[in-house]
Amino acid sequence: MDLQAEILLRIILAFFAGILLGAEREKRHKPAGLRTHALVCMGTALFTVISAYGFEQFAGLPPYGNMDPTRIAAQIVTGVGFIGGGIIFKEKNRVSGLTTAASIWLTAGVGTGIGAGMYLPMLLAAGLAIITLRLDRLIKRLGLETDDNE
């Protein structure tokens, strides 16, 4: 597969991974749902692809000789943290939006991994995330809920 086709595959996979992760949040009417997760996942995949391949023509040329493609990935973590921080609200003794913020943060990780071509680990991470987001329903059905979980 040529590089352009590989990059297109990564963007498409990130889109669908984001939709899968955001669908659960959307179903629960959370502040960041399907569209937000899809955009975050695609955006982080794009930044990762750009970081890895977008500056190859400058590699080894002064002053670009010591380029570090991981610098963009590090900035993704910071930027997505900012988005997540805007979703978390505290009202008296109650915090809301924390799980949605965490799901956006994880979605960014999945998008970054897909952008880097790590398909199977990201598929596993997305699947485990969806299971995690549904754990509270399972706990309620099994009657294992305590006052601490509310």
pLDDT in tens, the chain (150 residues): 899 999 999 999 999 999 999 998 999 888 889 999 999 999 999 999 998 888 777 666 666 666 777 788 889 988 998 888 888 988 888 888 999 999 999 999 999 999 999 999 999 999 999 999 999 888 888 888 765 443
Query: Which pLDDT score is estimated for 34?
Result: 92
The per-residue DSSP string of 66-109 comes to: T--THHHHHHHHHHHHHHHHTT-EEETTEEESHHHHHHHHHHHH
What's the confidence (pLDDT) of residue 150? 39
pLDDT score for 149: 40
pLDDT of residue 146: 61
pTM above 0.75, yes or no: yes
In sequence order, the β-bridge partners of residue 90 are 95
Q: What is the pLDDT of residue 12?
A: 97
